[in-house]
Amino acid sequence: MKGCAQRLAEPNWWRTRLDRYFRQAVDNAYRHRGQVRDGRSAYLSQHIHNEYLRSQQLSQEHLERTFLESEDGERVSLAEVWRSTVANPAVRRAEMMTRVRGMEEYAQAHGYSGLFVTLTLPSEYHASYKKGHRNPRFNGSTPKDGNDHLMKLWAQIRAKLHRDNLRPFGLRVVEPHHDGCPHWHLMLFTPTGTETAIKHVFEHYTLKDSARADLLKHRLKIVDIDPARGSAAGYVAKYVSKNIDGAHLNTDQTGQPLKDTPTRIRAWASTWRIRQFQFMGTPPVGVWRELRRLMGASGGGGALGTAVEAADRGDWFGFMEAMQKPQVGGDGLGVELMKAHTETVNRYTGEIVTSQFNRYGEPLDGKVIGVCSGLFRMPTRVRHWLGTQFEPLKVIGLVGRQADNPVSFRGNLGLV
């Protein structure tokens, strides 16, 4: 209760949520007017897209002017850190394709078959037709409402698969139709011979809310991934690239130039707080990223040593083998994250800062400091960073305000 009361009394907490609500309300108003569609403004309104681009530009300028300093005197800009992490779209895409390729290699090695599933919402969730006419059956739902409907459908399907001891693993991709209505693509790997049972589960729950069997072809499409015709990575690569940075793609599925499609999709997902990608039934990527920090290190024998070697050479297949996933059910993993509450000293005030509580006085989980396997521990974060430094830059004429402090200015961003 104390943390809740503190949030309600904090202006920044209200500003963040009101800004989010305002952006969603503006975009939804454009959808209701038929302004979000092919030929006008695909995926989301042009107004919100422009605001997203401006926000990204200001964030990038802030990163360029913010520096971290370590205890041994090294000074690094946040922009440099950003370029080397998965916050960078190029790095994010490369990591995802590494994981997809590793899953495919694992499936081939263990006798799994691939399915590519597309789930589409009923017609009443679509605001506009492809040709530009408004949909008279549109129920006024938002993209978030549509995605919640698909999440509920997937929860029912997943529960049934679990009851039937069918546990496929793979990747889920969420992307918008031209009018902002979401649809899902799932790349699933399942033991050969279980494909028919999985298809029946999808068919049953997809039409559970409708007695019309003829609607199935509009809501569900399942394609068997034939290795002779193309790899699973090839099936999903265009969706991953299109939804991140558009690398290696010149046109979309209709043959039109991509142009700003990737940024528009990212803006759509950011505005409606929709998770674009989710891996299912595979080892946690957090462990992989920590092991990647140990380039050239030796993890000894056992699962940890094998996992360190696989991560060092960028081998997600070897990493899955070391983690004993997905062939081992439950939560048992070969390697896990090691966490602890850390303390740092503010070099300006001498104050000891602990990470046990957040600013609202609520307990926090420990911070990641390494990896472990059984009794074996291996730290991955041994350097301590003392804090951030800013290089002031006067910004004039943005949102009708003038700011010398990039932090205070960034906190006041909003639509006008």
Tell me the per-residue pLDDT of 288-320, one tens digit each, with 9 for 90 and over.
999 998 876 766 667 788 888 899 999 999 999
Q: What does the chain come to in residues?
A: 416
Name the token pair of 387: 């804090």
Neighbours of 52 (CB within 10 A): 19
Separation of alpha carbons 142 and 48, rounded Å? 15
Q: Does 342 score more than 80 pLDDT?
A: no
Tell me the per-residue pLDDT of 125-168, one tens digit each, with 9 for 90 and over.
999 988 878 999 999 999 999 999 999 999 999 999 999 999 99
Cβ(95)–Cβ(315) under 8 Å? no
Given this model, what pLDDT does residue 414 score?
Answer: 30
The domain segmentation of the chain, as residue ranges, is 89-280, 285-383
Q: Which of 36-45, 291-300, 397-406 has the highest mean pLDDT?
A: 36-45
DSSP string, 356-386: SB-TTS-B-PPEEEEEEETTEEEE-----EE
DSSP string, 140-164: ---HHHHHHHHHHHHHHHHHHHHHT
Q: Which residue has the higher pLDDT, 221 or 343?
A: 221
Cβ(220)–Cβ(206) under 8 Å? yes
Given this model, what pLDDT does residue 246 score?
Answer: 82
Tell me the per-residue pLDDT of 244-264, one tens digit each, with 9 for 90 and over.
888 777 766 545 567 788 999
Active site residues: 235, 239
Assigned superfamily of 89-280: ACT-like. Chain A, domain 2 (3.30.70.1150)
